[in-house]
Amino acid sequence: MFYETIENKHGLKHDPFKALVVPRPIGWISTVSRDGICNIGPYSFFNAVGEKPHYVMFSSSGRKDSLKNIEETGEFTCSLATWDLRHNMNMTSASVPYGVDEFPIGDLTAAACRLVKAPRVKESPAAFECKHWKTIELPPLHPGGEPRNWVVFGQVIGIHIDDRFVKDGMVDTGAMRPIARLGYMEYAVVTPETVFAIDRPSVEEAMAKVRVKAAE
């Protein structure tokens, strides 16, 4: 099948876009308002976008509480959502009114960070402390139309890792069992059994393949 996204006439029950761009890491973004009230919410349009320095981004459809707090305070944290914390994460996705602290809703502990005021999730095996760099509004489908989408970029200035998941000088990602968003209401989980490694080919190996194909 094929469909043009502007018309969005795909003929399916739901737009399949988010079921195809998968799996998407979940940025469990926590902030604190000017009044000192904590906020946390999961964002599946999230990823790492740079290193040395490290940058992460997440996208908000509509001006949610996280975006408001980040622009006012200039900082946020991102905690890893895992299989053991899947129900906690899901509870914090509820669209509660601004000024409501979702940490108790998710039965989570707001742990103090080292370099930013925004808390991290104590129960999470890893978290990033971030300074807000820039927010970019994406153009809507039609001028003045809805929904409006914003992309928030943050520089990672500190990283927390649970020592239990550091083995032989490397992070055991599979043991953390991070979860990721698929389409609809579906998720996926990384486990030790699903992690695999493949070494990159050398330039010599790649060019040898090119020469063989050219000779055929």
Alpha carbon 106 to chain centroid distance?
18
Q: For residue 97, what are the domain limits?
A: 17-215
- Residue 216: its pLDDT value, please? 85
- How far apart CA 175 and CA 168 sit, in angstroms, is 14
Strand spans (E) along the chain: 24-25, 27-32, 38-43, 46-50, 55-61, 75-80, 110-111, 120-121, 126-138, 149-161, 166-167, 170-171, 179-181, 187-189
Contact predicate 207/48, CB 8 Å: no
The answer to whether residue 11 sits within a structural domain is no
- Phi, psi for residue 164 in degrees, rounded to 5: -65, -20
Contact predicate 92/76, CB 8 Å: no
The answer to whether residue 152 sits within a structural domain is yes
The answer to whether residue 24 sits within a structural domain is yes
- Residue 144: its pLDDT value, please? 81
- Residue 173: its pLDDT value, please? 98
The band of 19, judged by pLDDT with boundaries at 50, 70 and 90, is very high
The answer, yes or no, to whether the previous bond of 53 is cis (omega within 30 of 0) is yes
- Residue 100: its pLDDT value, please? 94
Under DSSP, the state recorded for 136 is E
The answer to whether residue 84 sits within a structural domain is yes
Pairing between β-strand 55-61 and β-strand 46-50 as defined by DSSP bridges: antiparallel
Mean pLDDT for the stretch of residues 64-91? 97
- How far apart CA 95 and CA 35 sit, in angstroms, is 20
The answer to whether residue 158 sits within a structural domain is yes
In the chain, the number of structural domains is 1
Q: Taking all residues of the chain, what is their mean pLDDT, rounded to a whole number?
A: 95
The answer to whether residue 1 sits within a structural domain is no
Q: What is the pLDDT of residues 124-152, one digit of tens each?
A: 999 999 999 999 999 988 888 887 999 99
Q: In this structure, what token pair is assigned to residue 140?
A: 């809507």
The answer to whether residue 7 sits within a structural domain is no
The band of 62, judged by pLDDT with boundaries at 50, 70 and 90, is confident
- Residue 145: its pLDDT value, please? 81
Mean pLDDT for the stretch of residues 171-175? 98
Mean pLDDT for the stretch of residues 36-64? 95
Can you give the pTM of this predicted structure? 0.92
pLDDT over 90 percentage in the chain: 92
Instruction: Please enumerate in sequence order all residues whose Cβ is within 8 A of that of 208, keeping only pairs 6 or more positions apart, or say none.
Output: none
- Residue 8: its pLDDT value, please? 87
Element (H, E) at 171: strand 170-171
Element (H, E) at 77: strand 75-80
The band of 103, judged by pLDDT with boundaries at 50, 70 and 90, is very high
Contact predicate 114/159, CB 8 Å: no
CATH label of the domain that carries residue 38: 2.30.110.10
Contact predicate 158/111, CB 8 Å: no
Contact predicate 182/20, CB 8 Å: no
- Residue 195: its pLDDT value, please? 96
The band of 80, judged by pLDDT with boundaries at 50, 70 and 90, is very high
- Residue 69: its pLDDT value, please? 97
Mean pLDDT for the stretch of residues 59-68? 92
The answer to whether residue 55 sits within a structural domain is yes
